[in-house]
Amino acid sequence: MKDNTGKTIAVVAGALIDADGRYMLGSRPEGKPYAGYWEFPGGKVEPGETLFAALAREFDEEMGVRVEHATPWLTRVHHYEHASVHLTFFRVWSWAGTPRPHEGQSFAWQKPGEERVAPMLPANGPILRALSLPLSLRVGVDGGFAIGNEAGVLLALNDWQRSGRPDAPWAGACVGSAAELSEAARLGFDFAVADAAGEWDTFDRVVNDGWPLPVYAAGAALAVALEHGAHGVLEADA
C-alpha cells in the first residue's frame, strides 16, 4: 500500500464468522477517510509485527475481542484517493469477548448474500461475494455445481486458458501455479481450485504470492485446508 508519501503500507482485516455463518462488519468512525462506510475490522501492520499479531492487536483495540483462531484467506490491492492499500484478509473462527465499539463505530452481523448495511468500502465488493462460497463445494463430472439457486462451472486449466471465463453466474478455474492463479483472477473467475492430495507442495506454491481469489483445496480435509489458506475443499463426484 502507498500513502501520500509513496510508502508501502500493509493492512490486515478479519471477518468474524459465527456459528450461523454470519460475519461482522463495522462502520468507519468520524475523522477517518470514508467515515460512515462499512468495512471488515482491522488496520495497519506495525513494523516488526506478523500479520496475525497485527490482526489480534487491532481486534483488541477496536472492539475488545481476543482472537483465538484465524486463518488467512484473501489478499487484495485497492487504490483510494488518499492511499493504495494492500489488504490481507483472515477469517476468524473463534474469539473471546463480546465485540464492543471502542472507537465510536457501529457493528452489524450480516448474512452472506443478504447484506443490509450501506455504503460499503469500495475494496469490499469481491470479499462479500467470496463469503457466499460454501466451505465444501461439490462439483459434478461435467464441472457443474450450484451456489444457492445459481449455476456455476469449474474449468480445467487448458479449457479456461483457451476460452477465458465462461458466461455463467459462478465460474472456477483449476490452477497449478501462482502465475495461473493471478491470471484466473485477472480474467474475472470467482475462485480457483488447486491440488492438495498427498503433499501440500503444489497448493502452497499456488498461494505463495497471496490469494487474489478464494482457493479450494482438492483432495484435502477441511480443517487442514483452512490452515493452509484454502477457502474450503472440493468434493468431486466420481
**Confidence check: pLDDT of 26 > 90:** yes
- What kind and span of H or E run contains 15? strand 10-16
d(CA 111, CA 176): 32
Q: Contact 193/135 with Cβ under 8 angstroms?
A: no
Convert the pLDDT of each residue in 45-68 to its tens digit: 999 999 999 999 999 999 999 999
**Confidence check: pLDDT of 198 > 80:** no
CATH topology for 10-123 is: Nucleoside Triphosphate Pyrophosphohydrolase (3.90.79)
Per-residue CA distances from 32 to 2, 177, 234 (Å)? 17, 38, 40
Grid cell digits, residue 50? 506478523
Multiple choice CATH, 136-236, 3.20.20.70, 3.40.630.30, 3.40.50.300, 3.50.50.60: 3.20.20.70
Residue where the block lists cell 509513496: 6
Other Cβ atoms within 10 Å of 96 Cβ, number: 9
The pLDDT, as a whole number, for residue 2 is 47
**Confidence check: pLDDT of 188 > 50:** yes
Domain extents in the chain:
10-123, 136-236
The pLDDT, as a whole number, for residue 82 is 72
List strand residue ranges (DSSP E) for 58-190, in order. 66-79, 84-96, 107-110, 136-139, 144-147, 150-155, 170-174
d(CA 195, CA 206): 9
The pLDDT, as a whole number, for residue 7 is 62
Total-model pTM? 0.92
